[in-house]
């Protein structure tokens, strides 16, 4: 399948994996719309990508969702890469429930609400691709919220593939990717962390966002893929990372 003249909406398409995905959809001939909360990031993404429409949207604010999709109108492919970023780690017994709820509010409920609001506008021949993370398949001690919410997204996508058919619903599950989500760390610590991760991975490097973007384009194009989780994690699961 070609993406020529297909319309793709990428919520979270102004940074990291979403930005790289927006560029790749565009290079395949799609008309691309990106959205995220910050006007500054939207403007920067539009400038960087070029022929793309950008909108300010907070996927945690349900009142913004319906007007956004009404403005966009009918389209073919929904990709959601948006997420707040913070992921708590620590012993389950000492983690506050509020912290877990905040993370679910962003990554899980945000994706859920986006699909619900977008549904009337997605063409029956189209696709929805959500984003989880390798932690769902390779749980780590002390990462209860991260593992639970990424697993919830994968479970949701499997049932949506049945409920929303013939619209196809899939998930991309990235491993560690060098994106602005790590920009809060100082450069030296980030480089040291990436080096350590790279040495443990089968592919011997931390992913660039462009390597993950390929998966979203593949799932949009592959008319026989639905209900699947595409693991793009450099062998992290086999490495036990
Ligand atoms: N990077 C990794 O190592 C990694 C690993 C596993 C999974 N993932 C997953 O991959 C996805 C993309 O991550 P990334 O590393 O590319 O992150 P990123 O560079 O921080 O990009 C996140 C994007 O989401 C947007 N966003 C955040 N909250 C939003 C909201 N409430 N409403 C609308 N947009 C919102 C951000 O823009 P605004 O700030 O303008 O809203 C930004 O465009 C996330 O689901 C993440 O959990 C990443």
Residues 180-206 pLDDT 10s: 999 999 999 999 999 999 999 999 999
**Where do the structural domains in the chain lie, given as residue ranges?**
7-239
CATH number of 7-239: 3.40.50.720
**What is the C-alpha separation between 91 and 140, in angstroms, rounded?**
11
Question: Tokens at residue 32, please?
Answer: 């691309």
For a pLDDT cut of 70, what percent of the chain falls above it?
Answer: 100
Verify whether ligand 1 is closer than 6 Å to residue 81 (CB atom). yes
Distance from the CA of 85 to the center of ligand 1, in angstroms? 6
| Minimal-distance CA residue to ligand 1 atom 24 | 82
Q: 13, 14, 15: which to mutate for ligand 1, most atoms within 8 A of CB?
A: 15
Q: 82, 208, 212, 229: which to mutate for ligand 1, most atoms within 8 A of CB?
A: 82
Residue 129, helix vs strand vs coil: strand
Verify whether ligand 1 is closer than 6 Å to residue 37 (CB atom). yes
Instruction: Give me the pLDDT at residue 240, please.
Output: 77
Phi, psi of 203 (to 5 degrees): -85, -5
**What is the C-alpha separation between 154 and 132, in angstroms, rounded?**
7
Q: What pLDDT, in 10s, does the model give residues 39-75?
A: 999 999 999 999 899 999 999 999 999 999 999 999 9
Q: What is the three-state SS of 198-214? A: HHHCCCCCCECHHHHHH
CB–CB of 104/145 below 8 Å? yes
First to last CA, the chain: 35
Peptide bond into 166 cis (omega under 30): yes
């Amino acid at each position: 399948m070609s993406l020529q003249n297909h319309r793709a909406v990428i919520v979270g398409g102004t940074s990291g994996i979403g930005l790289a995905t927006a560029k790749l959809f565009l290079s395949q001939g799609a008309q691309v719309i990106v959205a995220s909360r910050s006007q500054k990031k939207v403007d920067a993404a539009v400038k960087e990508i070029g022929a793309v429409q950008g909108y300010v949207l907070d996927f945690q604010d349900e009142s913004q969702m319906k007007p956004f999709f009404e403005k966009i109108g009918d389209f073919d492919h929904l990709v959601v890469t948006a997420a707040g970023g913070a992921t708590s780690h620590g012993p389950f017994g000492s983690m506050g429930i509020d912290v877990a709820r905040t993370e679910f509010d962003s990554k899980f409920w945000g994706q859920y609400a986006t699909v619900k609001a977008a549904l009337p506008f997605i063409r029956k021949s189209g696709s929805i691709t959500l984003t989880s993370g390798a932690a769902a398949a390779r749980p780590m001690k002390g990462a209860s919220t991260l593992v639970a919410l990424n697993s919830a997204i994968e479970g949701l996508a499997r049932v949506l593939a049945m409920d929303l058919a013939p619209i196809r619903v899939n998930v991309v599950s990235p491993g560690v990717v060098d994106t602005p989500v790590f920009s809060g760390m100082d450069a030296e610590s980030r480089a040291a962390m990436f080096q350590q991760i790279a040495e443990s991975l089968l592919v011997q490097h931390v992913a660039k966002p462009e390597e993950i973007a390929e998966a979203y384009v593949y799932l949009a194009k592959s008319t026989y893929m639905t209900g699947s989780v595409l693991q793009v994690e450099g062998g992290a699961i086999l490495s036990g990372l």
